[in-house]
Amino acid sequence: MRCLVLGGGGFMGSHLADSLLSAGHSVRIFEKKGRSTGDIAHILDRIEWHEGDFSNPLDIKTAVEGMDAVFHLISTTLPKGSNQSPVFDILTNVVPTVGLIEAAHEAGVKKIVFASSGGTVYGTPINNPISESHPTNPSCSYGIHKLTIEKYLALYNSLYGLDYAVLRISNPFGERQNPKGMLGAATVFLYRTLKGEQIEIWGDGSVVRDFLHISDVSEAFICALNYKGPEHVFNIGHGQGLSLNELLKVIEEVTGIKPKVRYTEGRTFDVQRNVLDISLARRELGWAPRLSIRDGLARTAAYLKK
């Protein structure tokens, strides 16, 4: 299939591009102007590279022309800061995405696969693990914009039959993730441990998250592309949570280095426990994570040491 990956030059998108090429698909990547091609340098001669503005309808129209499937991985905001400007969040994520869906429909795209958020669309969990039928009450604008896009995809499916899949992804980590960034506790903690730098944790480290290696996320995207069944929304996680303190113990086992940790006052908006129920993805997509957290961290550590 001819596949467009919006945001394909980054951490998640570059791994997805690798997997699509390995599966025999052709790949076109859409990125903002001036974006580094470092993460896809090894496949640059095998893909199409398109630069443009996600908010520009003409750029998006050009990008989707001739495509069979579109993978939407772009987000202009992060969960933590999204509440500071919900209007910006809407104008730069929801509005352009509705334009994308419309352009895809007009161009005859067969399927859209959207990277949603298993960590924010549900809000404070009533129970764990969290299934797809759990109430959705996001506590941040980021989660609301993800959920809104899910609803527009469902609308276009109902109106025009445009097929789609939503992957509510947990906490991905792995090679090519920015170890100095604001996302990816597993990668950041691992990097700082290897460098002998201090790790700062809000609270006592008992917060539990669902960590998943990026290779398993990429495989889930491929399974979603191939899926022909009746479901549209899937949780994609490891299905087993680790507290931040437990994560640090695994990092120490993998590296042989005891992390330097500083605990600070907890944040009121942090959900105490978020673990996804992945039974629907197992049953419908035939997908399940292959790498243990330990093995995923070992692979990431080897990459960071290069």
224 part of a folded domain: yes
Report pLDDT for 267. Answer: 76
Q: Residues 151, 265: one domain?
A: no
Report pLDDT for 7. Answer: 98
Report pLDDT for 270. Answer: 79
142 has catalytic annotation: yes
- Predicted confidence band at 266 (pLDDT cuts at 50, 70, 90)? confident
283 part of a folded domain: no
Domain hosting residue 219, numbered range: 2-171+212-236
Per-residue pLDDT for 139 more than 80?
yes
Tell me the pLDDT tens digit for each residue of 103-131: 999 999 999 999 999 999 999 999 999 99
Task: Tell me the C-alpha distance between 90 and 92, whole Å.
Answer: 6
Tell me the pLDDT tens digit for each residue of 43-99: 999 999 999 999 999 999 999 999 999 999 999 999 989 999 999 999 999 999 999
Q: Residues 103, 185: one domain?
A: no
The candidate with the shortest Cα–Cα distance to 54, out of 20, 99, 17, 9, is 99
Tokens of 226: 């191939």
Counting residues of the chain whose pLDDT is more than 70, the rounded percentage is: 100
Report pLDDT for 182. Answer: 80
Q: Residues 128, 247: one domain?
A: no
Range 273-291 average pLDDT? 98
Identify the CATH number of the domain in which residue 186 sits: 3.90.25.10
How many residues are present in the chain? Answer: 306
Task: Tell me the C-alpha distance between 16 and 22, whole Å.
Answer: 10
286 part of a folded domain: no
Per-residue pLDDT for 271 more than 90?
no
Report pLDDT for 42. Answer: 97
Q: Residues 226, 252: one domain?
A: no
Report pLDDT for 228. Answer: 97
Range 231-245 average pLDDT? 97
Q: What is the mean pLDDT of the chain?
A: 97
Q: Residues 113, 232: one domain?
A: yes
Report pLDDT for 98. Answer: 98
Q: Residues 255, 222: one domain?
A: no
Task: Tell me the C-alpha distance between 98 and 108, whole Å.
Answer: 15
Per-residue pLDDT for 269 more than 80?
no
Per-residue pLDDT for 210 more than 90?
yes
Range 224-241 average pLDDT? 97
Percent helix, percent strand, percent coil in the chain, to nearest 5: 40, 20, 40
Q: Residues 251, 155: one domain?
A: no
- The pTM score is 0.97
Report pLDDT for 69. Answer: 98
10 Å Cβ neighbour count for 215? Answer: 19
- Predicted confidence band at 192 (pLDDT cuts at 50, 70, 90)? very high
Q: Which of 122, 142, 164, 227 is catalytic?
A: 142
Tell me the pLDDT tens digit for each residue of 14-37: 999 999 999 999 999 999 999 999
10 Å Cβ neighbour count for 282? Answer: 14
Identify the CATH number of the domain in which residue 91 sits: 3.40.50.720
The candidate with the shortest Cα–Cα distance to 114, out of 152, 157, 167, is 167
Q: How many structural domains are present in the chain? A: 2
